[in-house]
Amino acid sequence: MMSSPPLTAVVTGGSSGIGFALTQKLLSEGYHVFATSRSGDIPGIAHPALTVIPLDITDSSMVQAAVAAIAASGRGIDLLVNNAGAAPDVYDLEPKPDTFTQTFATNVTGLVFFTETLLPHLHQGAQIVMMSSAMGLIKNAGINGPAYRMSKAAVNMYAVMLAKRLSEKQIRVTPMHPGWVKTKLGGMNASLTPRESAEVIYAGIRNNSATGQFWNTDINGVEMF
C-alpha cells in the first residue's frame, strides 16, 4: 500500500508565542511546516520536517521571496495559518499614527498580500486560518486598542470575502480567536499557555467544517460576528 505524503502547513510568526507552540503541535501531528520568523531562525525547535523562512510581513520583497522559497520546495500547501500579528496600541484609548501604521501594515496589509501571493500554491481542499481576536468583533467593541480592534475587524471581513471567493476550490477560510494567551502580546495574566492554545486551535482546525465563520476556541465553536 502506498503511504500518502505528509500534509504541509505554513505558519507565519513561528518565532514566539502561539505561532511557536502551533508549529511544535503541527510537527508532532506529522505535518511538514514552513514557519516564518523575522530573524530567519527559530531557536528552540530542531526538527527535520521544519523549514524556517525569513519574513517581515510588512516588507513586500520579503513576502515575494518567502513564497518563492515555499513554492520551490514543490510542496502544495494544505494549511496556512496567518498568525503573525502586532498589538502596540492595546492599552491606548486614542489612535496614534505610528502604532496605527505598524498595526495595519502587519495585521492587515501584510496578512492580505502574503495570503494572496501564496494562494496559487494551496491545494484544493486546503484550509486558511486567520488569527483574529474576539476584540475585533463589533459586538465586543471596547475603548482600548483602537488600531488592534479595527485591524482584526478588517481581518474578519477579508476572511469572509475570501471564503466566498475560494468556495469553488473547497478552500475553507476561518477567522479564529485563539483564547487569551500568555505571550508577549497577550501578557502574563492571560488564562492559557501557548501550548494549551495550540491544542484548542488544532482542535478547531480539525473540527470546524464551516467556512467564512468566526471560530472561537473559548467555546470550541462558531460565534456570530
Chain positions contacting ligand NAP, by CB under 6 A? 13, 15-19, 37-38, 55-58, 83-87, 106, 131, 133, 177-178, 180-181, 183-186, 190
For residue 81, which phi and psi values (nearest 5 degrees)? -115, 105
- In angstroms, give the least distance from the CB of 94 to ligand NAP: 20
Nearer to ligand NAP, 146 or 178 (CB): 178
Nearer to ligand NAP, 19 or 146 (CB): 19
Nearer to ligand NAP, 183 or 208 (CB): 183
Nearer to ligand NAP, 65 or 123 (CB): 65
d(CA 179, CA 134): 8
Sheet (strand 221-223) strand order: 50-54, 32-37, 8-11, 77-82, 122-131, 172-177, 214-216, 221-223
For residue 26, the tally of other CB atoms under 10 A from its CB is: 27
- In angstroms, give the least distance from the CB of 144 to ligand NAP: 14
- In angstroms, give the least distance from the CB of 148 to ligand NAP: 7
- In angstroms, give the least distance from the CB of 59 to ligand NAP: 8
Contact by Cβ (8 Å): 54, 62: yes
Strands (E), the chain: 8-11, 32-37, 50-54, 77-82, 122-131, 172-177, 214-216, 221-223
Q: What's the grid cell of residue 207? A: 473540527
- In angstroms, give the least distance from the CB of 124 to ligand NAP: 27
Grouping H, G, I as helix, E, B as strand and the rest as coil, residue 32 is: strand
User: In 62-86, which positions are buried (b, 16+ CB within 10 angstroms) versus exposed (e)?
Assistant: bbeebbeebeeeebbbbbbbbbbbb
Nearer to ligand NAP, 15 or 211 (CB): 15
- In angstroms, give the least distance from the CB of 99 to ligand NAP: 13
Nearer to ligand NAP, 86 or 119 (CB): 86
